[in-house]
Amino acid sequence: MMIKCIAIDDEPLAVKKIAGYIGKVPFLELVAECRSAAEAMSILDTTDVQLLFIDINMPEISGMEFVKSLTNKPYVVFTTAYSEYAVEGFQVEAVDYLLKPITFSNFLKAANKVKTLIELTANSHKEIVKTTANHLFVKSDYKLIRIDLADIKYIESQHEYIKIHLANSNPVMTQLSLKSMEEQLPSDRFMRVHRSYIVNLAKVSVVERNRIVFDGNIYIPVSDQYKGNFQSYIDKSFLI
């Protein structure tokens, strides 16, 4: 298992130090070194990132404000020189809070905490979803719900939950990662088009400016990471 992560700090030496630590941990993969929250956001929009190592005191928008603004949060480890932010850090469900100067031993402890959480979550999801050729069974609100695959329009990630949007009934929420759901669905019928969305290809009828339009007013973005596969599908399926 590799955990994709980003190091975010406006201080060049600090971000290089975290990046160096990431390189020493076999199960961590550095996606990017970012000098601002804005730079990190552009990467989060196009790449599946599971972990942020992020400084709190940064110009324009603080690390704390940035994490609070995210609707689909990766795991977070704050790195800072100021201990007074610790309580607020845990209020936003940060996994750990590392005070500078950060030693490798403390960094490794935080990384192992994240690894344990991801493994526990993956194991707990194994019995949440079951699929057959035409149906999906998910646990939601202590009930086991059968969903016809043909009724699914799209699936939306909401942090540790996903929302399954259906054609003829209300959405169904279940505690599952989008990646786990993607692995369960038939790849010839469903496609990941964004870090936060999977679509039922049979329900795609309108595409506008790299967005899939559902019901005339719901826009699903197609990110650069998945654009190639989706364009291949469009080229084969639509008369252009």
Q: Cβ neighbours of residue 63 under 8 Å, at least 6 residues apart?
A: 8, 37, 54, 55, 56, 57, 78, 80
Classify residue 117 as exposed, middle or buried by CB count within 10 Å of its CB (0-12, 13-18, 19+). Answer: middle
- 149 pLDDT band (50/70/90 cuts)? very high
pLDDT at 40: 92
Q: What is the mean pLDDT of the chain?
A: 87
Q: State how beta strands 143-148 and 135-140 pair.
A: antiparallel
Q: Cβ neighbours of residue 153 under 8 Å, at least 6 residues apart?
A: 165, 166, 167, 199, 200, 203, 214
- 84 pLDDT band (50/70/90 cuts)? low
Mean pLDDT calculated for residue range 209-237: 89
pLDDT at 210: 87
CATH class of domain segment(s) 3-124: alpha beta
Distance in angstroms (rounded) separating the CA atoms of residues 107 and 31: 17
Mean pLDDT calculated for residue range 147-159: 91
For residues 175 and 98, the model is more confident at 98
- 118 pLDDT band (50/70/90 cuts)? confident
**For residue 239, pLDDT beyond 90:** no
Mean pLDDT calculated for residue range 33-56: 90
**For residue 111, pLDDT beyond 90:** yes
Give me the sign of the Cα torsion angle 17, 19, 20, 25: positive
* Domains 3-124 and 129-237 are alike in CATH topology: no
Which residue type occupies 153?
K
- Percent of the chain past pLDDT 90, that is, above it, reads 47
Owner of token pair 């994490």: 67
Residue ranges of the domains in the chain? 3-124, 129-237
Picking from 18, 24, 33, 19, the residue whose alpha carbon sits closest to that of residue 100 is 18
pLDDT at 68: 87
Distance in angstroms (rounded) separating the CA atoms of residues 188 and 232: 12
- Percent of the chain past pLDDT 70, that is, above it, reads 89
Mean pLDDT calculated for residue range 86-108: 82
Q: How far from the centroid of its chain's Cα atoms is residue 74's Cα? A: 6
> Hey, which residues does 156 pair with through a beta bridge?
163, 197
CATH architecture of 129-237: Beta Barrel (2.40)
Structure confidence by residue, pLDDT tens digits, 163-217: 999 998 899 998 888 888 888 899 999 999 998 999 999 999 899 888 999 988 8
For residues 118 and 3, the model is more confident at 3
Distance in angstroms (rounded) separating the CA atoms of residues 147 and 200: 13
pLDDT at 88: 58
**For residue 59, pLDDT beyond 80:** yes
Structure confidence by residue, pLDDT tens digits, 10-29: 999 999 999 999 999 999 99
Give me the sign of the Cα torsion angle 138, 215, 192, 187: positive
